[in-house]
């Protein structure tokens, strides 16, 4: 990425424009966090309800005390160890942080992303960049610039291409707005619960119901067009057979965890399964999950059967996203 591209992007942001940029987790759709009209455009382009708060991205952890108030020691501990990185801290907001970003909450989500292009953009911009994932509300998050262009195309001013995202699933959101004694994981993600607990020296519960803040939200997030069915590895063959029996017309795609298989291995047209993707259940599955869901949609699969990884380390976040992709849908109330 050349410096002129970054300078151009920073000027667009300052003028109220929308710039999609890479992070290590997923691509973000950025606007200057201090410009209400620019942030309003983010909600309009995403078609996301305005009471759903955005994460503000910062260039470094020193900016924490400018954007948050009453920052507890635990926040400094986590920021010091994990930023830049896939961690978002929810803290009490500083006075100047507008309700247009926080969804009218008195708290704010803050994160320093670990991607050279994101950091260069943040430094050139000099302020906070409010950015949700750069996909339409309810669909799968983008992990390449091509995904962003397909989803949002002409509705935004620029897409900075920083290659495929390394982590592939969103940041872990830790709510510390009630202070050191009550940390809660609102959304599992790229920073593991195990690591966060080790750093804080205490158990950190994962909030039931996930990160969803606004009323009426449903559990179906991050969803492809195909119907998603989750199963465990031991039941995969039985689940596939059952799907083919009840719905012989289905075009079936399978995402199966297979230890040591990197990069992902594709096979086609075997045993009634149209497309089968096998990949290592740890880092590779997180990195490629959203891309695999999109590709199975492109292959016109009508049903996707996916095996859940064990709920430890990155597996907790992967299982969370797979369950949401498989969640009930009724058209409204889906985030992502």
Task: List the one residue from 12, 122, 186, 336 that touches Mg ion (CB under 5 A).
Answer: 336
Q: Between 102 and 307, whose beta carbon lies closer to ligand TXA?
A: 102
Pick out residues in 121-160 that bind Mg ion (CB under 5 A). Answer: 133
Q: How far is the CB of 322 from Mg ion (least distance, A)?
A: 15
Helix, strand, or coil (residue 324): helix
Q: Which two tokens stand for residue 21?
A: 């940029």
Contact 54, 217 (CB under 8 A): no
Q: How far is the CB of 148 from ligand TXA (least distance, A)?
A: 11
Asked if 217 touches ligand TXA (CB under 6 A), the answer is: no
Asked if 136 touches ligand TXA (CB under 6 A), the answer is: no
Q: How far is the CB of 152 from Mg ion (least distance, A)?
A: 13
Q: How far is the CB of 170 from ligand TXA (least distance, A)?
A: 4
Task: List the one residue from 32, 151, 170, 280 that touches ligand TXA (CB under 6 A).
Answer: 170
Asked if 139 touches ligand TXA (CB under 6 A), the answer is: no
Q: How far is the CB of 144 from Mg ion (least distance, A)?
A: 16
CA-CA-CA-CA dihedral for 294, 296, 297, 298, to nearest 10: 90
Contact 322, 308 (CB under 8 A): yes
Region binding ligand TXA by CB under 6 A among candidate stretches 3-11, 166-174, 237-245, 320-328 = 166-174
Asked if 129 touches ligand TXA (CB under 6 A), the answer is: no
Other C-beta atoms closer than 10 Å to the C-beta of 308 total 18
Q: Which helix (H) or strand (E) covers residue 124, if one does?
A: helix 116-125
| Sheet of strand 158-159, all strands in order from the earlier edge strand to the far edge | 158-159, 19-21, 28-32, 129-130, 55-57, 107-111, 87-92, 172-175, 184-187
Q: Between 107 and 231, whose beta carbon lies closer to ligand TXA?
A: 107
Task: List the one residue from 20, 67, 82, 102 that touches ligand TXA (CB under 6 A).
Answer: 102
Asked if 192 touches Mg ion (CB under 5 A), the answer is: no
Most distant pair of Cα atoms in the chain: their distance: 60
Asked if 85 touches ligand TXA (CB under 6 A), the answer is: no
Asked if 307 touches Mg ion (CB under 5 A), the answer is: no
Asked if 144 touches ligand TXA (CB under 6 A), the answer is: no
Asked if 324 touches ligand TXA (CB under 6 A), the answer is: no
Contact 69, 91 (CB under 8 A): yes
Query: CA-CA distances (angstroms) from residue 28 to 52, 130, 132, 282, 310?
Result: 15, 9, 5, 23, 28
């Amino acid at each position: 990425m050349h410096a002129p591209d970054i300078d151009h992007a920073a000027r667009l942001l300052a003028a109220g424009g929308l710039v999609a940029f890479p992070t290590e987790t997923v691509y973000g759709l950025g606007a200057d966090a201090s410009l209400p009209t620019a942030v309003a455009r983010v909600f309009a382009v995403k078609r996301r309800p305005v009471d759903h708060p955005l994460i503000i991205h910062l260039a470094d952890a020193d900016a924490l005390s400018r954007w948050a108030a009453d920052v507890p020691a635990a926040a400094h501990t986590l920021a010091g160890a994990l930023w830049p990185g896939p961690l978002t801290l929810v803290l009490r907001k500083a006075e100047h942080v507008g309700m247009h970003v926080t969804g009218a909450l008195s708290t704010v989500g803050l994160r320093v992303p670990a991607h050279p292009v994101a950091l260069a953009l943040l430094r050139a911009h000099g302020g906070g960049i409010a950015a949700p994932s750069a996909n339409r509300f309810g669909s799968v998050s983008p992990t390449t610039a091509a995904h962003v262009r397909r989803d949002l195309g002409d509705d935004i001013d620029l897409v900075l291409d920083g290659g495929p995202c390394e982590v592939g699933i969103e940041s872990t959101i830790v709510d510390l707005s009630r202070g050191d004694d009550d940390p809660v994981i609102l959304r599992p993600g790229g920073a593991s619960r195990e690591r966060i607990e080790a750093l804080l020296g205490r158990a950190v519960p994962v909030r039931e119901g996930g990160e969803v803040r606004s009323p009426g939200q449903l559990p179906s997030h991050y969803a492809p067009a195909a119907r998603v069915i989750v199963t465990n590895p031991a039941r995969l063959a039985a689940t596939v057979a059952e799907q083919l029996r009840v719905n012989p017309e289905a075009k079936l795609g399978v995402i199966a965890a297979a230890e040591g298989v990197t990069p992902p291995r594709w096979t086609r047209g075997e045993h009634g399964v149209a497309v089968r993707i096998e990949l290592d259940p740890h880092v590779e599955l997180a990195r490629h999950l959203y891309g695999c869901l999109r590709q199975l949609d492109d292959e016109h699969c009508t049903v996707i059967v996916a095996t859940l990884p064990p709920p430890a380390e990155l597996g907790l976040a992967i299982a969370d996203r797979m369950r949401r992709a498989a969640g009930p849908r009724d058209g409204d109330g889906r985030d992502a």
